[in-house]
Amino acid sequence: MEKIIDENKQGQAFVIESKSKSTRKLFLESYGCQMNFSDSEIVASILAKEGFSTTQNLEDADLVLVNTCSIRDKAEQTIRKRLEKYNAVKRINTGMKVGVLGCMAERLKKKFLEEEKIVDLVVGPDAYKDLPNLIKEVDAGREAVNVILSKDETYGDIAPVRLGGNGVSAFVSITRGCDNMCTFCVVPFTRGRERSRAPESILNEIKDLSEKGYKEVTLLGQNVDSYLWYGGGLKKNFKEASEIQKATATNFSELLAMVAQAEPKMRFRFSTSNPQDMTLEVLHTMSEYSNICNYIHLPVQSGSTRILTEMNRQHTREEYKSLIDNVRSIIPDCAISQDMITGFPTETEADHKDTLSLMEYVKYDFGFMFMYSERPGTMAARKLEDDVPLDIKKRRLTEIVSAQRKHSAYRTKQYIGETVEVLIEKQSKKSDAHWSGRTPQNTVAVFPKEGYKVGDFVNVKIASSTSATLIGEALGYSVNN
Ligand code: SAH
Ligand code: F3S
């Protein structure tokens, strides 16, 4: 199942019920990564306490908030178009206020107010607790901008309002920011330095989800494998921590074991792993606990060591391959997915062939593939010319997408005749007589509904497959049900 993330896809709008009597209506929309969707649940929680109730009708809104993405230029263009739409509505509903949240807010800061006259409020990813004050500023006719990045996890004490989900799987953030400084990436600028969240706070949120009937949790961070709790603060300051803090620190492998033990009936996933930070200890923990899903999203970006160096990725092609070999030997049935960028500056045909041959070696289960998009302020933008012509970027993208489609089909085919455990998430899009869910390997499986319901763990015998989907029949509940 190759997935080209399309930032043009409609942002999702959500409805929450506010307990307090409210006169103000919020329209909240999210674009971009899972972290943004997760952050919007925090925003919803903060504003519900302020008496906002949400609406799915833009026309009814007193306040419109859009959680934005800066990862590629196309993502930003999508938001600009959305602002035009808000503008058209604001012409009729003149009292409506518009706020921009997330990475674009952080990147453009006050400039946003100048560039887009419709915007009243600019709030970066670490400043959502300030929203109530900022809204008061806007109400008083003043400018409202807060893009201060934090040294701490920031939102550990807020119980997110679960928005638009299926009531079965949820995201729980465990780290914020990124210290990796890949030369193409805007995230370190928009989300700040890396910091981890206290294990107790993570465990509490998971316990609460379990009590509410959730069956699967994805631990979220830009670089989850570099999770390190030593009592708070930035990861880069760990060197200066006390001896006691160092001795009692919790790393990602330990955190995984803690959550898996605390909720043995719950499935756990995590995203995203960066190759250089993924340890063998994590792989062993995954193989030890059956409720940690055998699936790793392991972006590589390129199969060429020369390009990886230009990207400031902290590993070579060979090191990545040996990590893949370790995954295969420690967790034989582990699914692996990739992120890939085509047309990074200076990429030659030989580099591109290296990417294709690496893909052939790994045969990823699925992948997310993109053309390089130069981001202002990044090291690549400052030091390297965006010199691969668009038609070549496009052709290379088409080639890796078709390689991925072939590998995905190869992977799904291996399940034919096998019995897999599926957690039912929703009705199949194609048939109201079928359920759709995912295997631990994150592959979508569909099967006739019979007497099962959303949230059940079911053993499904696979009869056929497409490149993205397994098709089978339920044999009964799995032991985890
Ligand atoms: N560590 C993060 C990565 C975020 S960006 C995570 O949690 O997933 C997601 C993917 O977008 C990256 O892996 C990369 O493949 C792609 N990407 C990032 N910057 C890009 C750029 N400037 N142009 C094209 N693709 C980019
Ligand atoms: Fe971006 Fe690299 Fe971090 S892709 S989010 S700088 S690991």
Domain assignment present for residue 151? The answer is no
Residue nearest to atom 13 of ligand 1 (CA): 339
Domain boundary among 146, 180, 197: 146
Q: How far is the CA of 33 from the centre of ligand 1 (A)?
A: 10
| Distance between CA atoms of residues 134 and 55, nearest Å | 21
Domain assignment present for residue 339? The answer is yes
Q: Are residues 322 and 463 in the same domain?
A: no
Q: Which ligand is nearest to the CA of 272?
A: 1
Q: Are residues 335 and 427 in the same domain?
A: no
Q: Are residues 275 and 406 in the same domain?
A: yes
Domain boundary among 358, 383, 413: 413
Tokens found for residue 129: 């607790």
Assess whether the C-beta atom of 369 lies below 6 angstroms from ligand 1.
no
In the predicted structure, residue 72 carries a pLDDT above the cut 50: yes
Q: Which ligand is nearest to the CA of 179?
A: 2
Which CATH number belongs to the domain containing residue 444 in this structure?
Answer: 2.40.50.140
Total domains in the chain come to: 3
Domain assignment present for residue 159? The answer is no
What is the mean predicted confidence (pLDDT) over 139-153? 91
Q: How far is the CA of 2 from the centre of ligand 2 (A)?
A: 21
Query: Per residue in 82-111, pLDDT tens?
Result: 999 999 999 999 999 999 999 999 999 999
In the predicted structure, residue 252 carries a pLDDT above the cut 60: yes
Q: How far is the CA of 112 from the centre of ligand 2 (A)?
A: 24
Work out which ligand 1 atom sits closest to the CA atom of 71.
19
Tokens found for residue 216: 């699967």
Residue nearest to atom 4 of ligand 1 (CA): 222
Q: Under a CB-based contact definition with an 8 Å cutoff, are residues 27 and 43 in contact?
A: no
What is the mean predicted confidence (pLDDT) over 140-159? 90
Q: Are residues 351 and 204 in the same domain?
A: yes
Q: How far is the CA of 272 from the centre of ligand 1 (A)?
A: 10
Q: Are residues 448 and 393 in the same domain?
A: no
Nearest to 223 by CA among 191, 245, 246, 262: 191
Which residues, in sequence order, are CB contacts of 393 under 8 Å at separation 6+?
A: 342, 343, 371, 372
Domain assignment present for residue 160? The answer is no
Q: Are residues 138 and 189 in the same domain?
A: no
Domain assignment present for residue 239? The answer is yes
Which residues, in sequence order, are CB contacts of 225 under 8 Å at separation 6+?
A: 252, 273, 274, 277, 278, 279, 282
Tokens found for residue 356: 């294709």
Q: Are residues 428 and 374 in the same domain?
A: no
Query: Per residue in 307-356, pLDDT tens?
Result: 999 999 999 999 999 999 999 999 999 999 999 999 999 999 999 999 99
Average of per-residue pLDDT values in the chain: 93
In the predicted structure, residue 12 carries a pLDDT above the cut 80: no
Nearest to 107 by CA among 72, 135, 139: 72
What dihedral angle (degrees, nearest 10) is formed by the CA atoms of 70, 364, 291, 255? Answer: -50
Bridge-partner residues for 179, per DSSP? Answer: none
- As a residue count, the chain comes to 481
Q: Which ligand is nearest to the CA of 222?
A: 1
Q: What is the pLDDT of residue 2?
A: 36
Q: How far is the CA of 467 from the centre of ligand 1 (A)?
A: 24
Report the b/e string of 64-82 with b at 16+ CB within 10 A: bbbbbbbbbeebbebbeeb
Q: Are residues 363 and 409 in the same domain?
A: yes
Domain assignment present for residue 362? The answer is yes
Q: How far is CA 318 from CA 312, 330, 340, 345, in A?
A: 16, 18, 17, 22
| Distance between CA atoms of residues 250 and 351, nearest Å | 39
Q: Are residues 292 and 364 in the same domain?
A: yes
Assess whether the C-beta atom of 206 lies below 6 angstroms from ligand 1.
no
Q: Helices (DSSP H) in 192-316: which residue ranges?
A: 199-211, 243-247, 252-262, 280-288, 305-310
Pocket test for ligand 1, best of 370, 375, 396 (most atoms within 8 A of CB): 370
DSSP state of 305: H
Q: How confident is the model at residue 17 (pLDDT cuts 50, 70, 90)?
A: very low
Domain assignment present for residue 328? The answer is yes
Name every protein residue with a CB atom under 6 angstroms from any ligand 2 atom: 178, 180-182, 185, 187-188, 222-223, 274
Domain assignment present for residue 157? The answer is no
Which CATH number belongs to the domain containing residue 291 in this structure?
Answer: 3.80.30.20
Better pLDDT: 10 or 57: 57
R_g of the chain computed on alpha carbons: 23
Which CATH number belongs to the domain containing residue 44 in this structure?
Answer: 3.40.50.12160
Q: How far is CA 435 from CA 62, 215, 453, in A?
A: 38, 16, 8
From the CB of residue 63, how many other CB atoms can be counted at a distance below 10 Å?
24
Which residues, in sequence order, are CB contacts of 106 under 8 Å at separation 6+?
A: 70, 124, 125, 147, 149, 189, 190, 191
Q: What is the pLDDT of residue 162?
A: 86
Q: Are residues 67 and 214 in the same domain?
A: no
| Cis status of the peptide bond prior to 272, with omega within 30 of 0 | yes
What is the mean predicted confidence (pLDDT) over 34-44? 94
pLDDT exceeding 70 applies to what percent of the chain?
95
What is the mean predicted confidence (pLDDT) over 456-476? 98
Residue nearest to atom 2 of ligand 2 (CA): 182
Q: Under a CB-based contact definition with an 8 Å cutoff, are residues 70 and 33 in contact?
A: no
| Distance between CA atoms of residues 460 and 479, nearest Å | 13
Domain boundary among 389, 413, 437: 413
Tokens found for residue 314: 């902290």
Q: Are residues 242 and 329 in the same domain?
A: yes
Q: What is the pLDDT of residue 159?
A: 87
Q: What is the pLDDT of residue 8?
A: 38
Work out which ligand 1 atom sits closest to the CA atom of 375.
22
Tokens found for residue 191: 């989300």
What is the mean predicted confidence (pLDDT) over 441-458? 97
* Secondary structure of residue 461 in the 3-state scheme: strand
Q: How confident is the model at residue 54 (pLDDT cuts 50, 70, 90)?
A: confident
DSSP 119-172: --EEE-TT-GGGHHHHHHHHHTT--EEE----SS-S-TT--PPP-S--SSEEEE
Residue nearest to atom 2 of ligand 1 (CA): 222
Q: How far is the CA of 27 from the centre of ligand 1 (A)?
A: 28
In the predicted structure, residue 43 carries a pLDDT above the cut 60: yes
Domain range for 21: 2-146
Q: Are residues 321 and 277 in the same domain?
A: yes
